[in-house]
Amino acid sequence: MNVKKVIVAVTNDLVTDQRVHKVCLFLEREGFEVLLAGRKQRKSIPLKQRSYHTARMKLLFENGALFYAEYNIRLFLLLVFNRSHLVVANDLDTLPAAFLAAKLKGNPIVYDSHEYYCGTPELAQRPFIRNFWRRIERWIFPRLREVITVNESIAELYNKEYGKKLHVVRNIPPAKGYAQQLSRRELGLPEDKTILILQGAGINIDRGVEELVEAMQEVRDDALLLIVGSGDVIGQLKQRAKELQIGPKIQFIPKVPLEQLMAYTTVADIGLTVDKDTNINYRYSLPNKLFDYIRAGIPVIASRLPEIEKVITKYDIGAFIENHNPAHIATIINETIKDTKRRAAWKANLKRVNQELTWEREEQTLKKIYDQYK
């Protein structure tokens, strides 16, 4: 039997990318031989063995233009000198090498855009770099046959720009989730506190976390905020918590594997997603953590961004902040903690939602796409 080989490309270190991991498992179940290619950074944590093949490239540069150039050269060589029948590029920063190699070898390519890449805040203040990526996108995007993205709003943005209809596959956890069954005590967490959690691999500027830390001054003393993950502002957040002398009310936990991340989320009481509407990419985001909170069965406090609001309002599973004034954020958190009756109603709704929002349902769209390449 001639097994088709697919090479999946990302620029991250593979450890916490839930979406791509789920796609690789899906492709494996569909009969493909899968190789997931990414990078290994100096601070990367060990990668647990997976059922599919992985390759983490060690690069000389870890950020900036030299990183993207080196990564795409290395990825191009990997794709050219490894047998493959299909290439899957995740996000625009993998697309130049993936597209060129696929064309050279005559392989089909599937593009999965996890965000509106040229609208990211990292590019907003760097017009030259943004225009560079925009030119690449405008050259390649119209030549792509199958393009996937994470929500309807981003699909519509790309449709207006390129006249191309995208497939939407939301990043929802599988029905059984990834959680390790650990108690608060086993995780080193207090059993007598209301635990708030904010998780993410990109805890960066304009994610609203700076204001959230400020708000903890006014949040009741029996609450504990867990900030789990990594990002550009973590050091700044730790310093600010120290200055405000609210260290006992905030616990920082570094980036952890998927299973351990969900263990923390499952024992929390309230999940937080408080991104600001400062750029088009954040405005139309549908963050992974929202669906992780839903899978864990915990109510959500969120900023009122369109895609997030749709989910929370449709299923009645949480509350909103109307602005990022720390005093307002603290008020919403305190009111939510106090209103145990309302939280119980949200938790009851979450049980129903978990039967409807599953990765297994999202996979039906993937099956229609990938069946043609078997």
Torsion sign (Cα): 299, 302, 307, 310? positive
Contact 343, 336 (CB under 8 A): yes
Is residue 1 predicted with pLDDT exceeding 60? no
Residue range 72-93: average pLDDT?
97
With 0.85 as the threshold, say if the pTM is over it.
yes
Strand partners, 5: 33
Q: What's the CA angle centered on 49, arms 44 and 53, to 5 degrees? A: 95
Average pLDDT over residues 166-195: 90
Q: Distance (Å, rounded) from C-alpha 215 to C-alpha 236?
A: 15
Domains in the chain with CATH codes: 5-172+359-373 (3.40.50.2000), 194-356 (3.40.50.2000)
Decide if pLDDT at 125 tops 90.
no
- Mean pLDDT lowest for which of 162-166, 229-233, 299-303? 229-233
**pLDDT greater than 70 at residue 178:** no
What is the DSSP secondary structure assignment for residue 44, as one 8-state letter? P
Could you tell me what percent of the chain has a pLDDT over 70? 99
Q: pLDDT for 316-355, tens place per residue?
A: 999 999 999 999 999 999 999 999 999 999 999 999 999 8
**Helices 306-315 and 340-356 sit at what angle, rounded to 10 degrees?**
100
- 108 burial (CB, 10 Å; 0-12 / 13-18 / 19+) is middle
The confidence score (pLDDT) of residue 177 equals 63
Residues 199-213 have a mean pLDDT of 90
Q: Taking residues 273-285, report their average pLDDT.
A: 93
What is the rounded average pLDDT for all residues in the chain? 94
Model confidence band, residue 133 (pLDDT cutoffs 50, 70, 90): very high
How many Cβ atoms are within 10 Å of 343's Cβ, its own excluded? 19
Question: Please, where are the H alpha helices in 30-126?
Answer: 64-80, 95-105, 121-124
Question: What angle in degrees, to the nearest 10, is found between the helix axes of 340-356 and 288-296?
Answer: 110
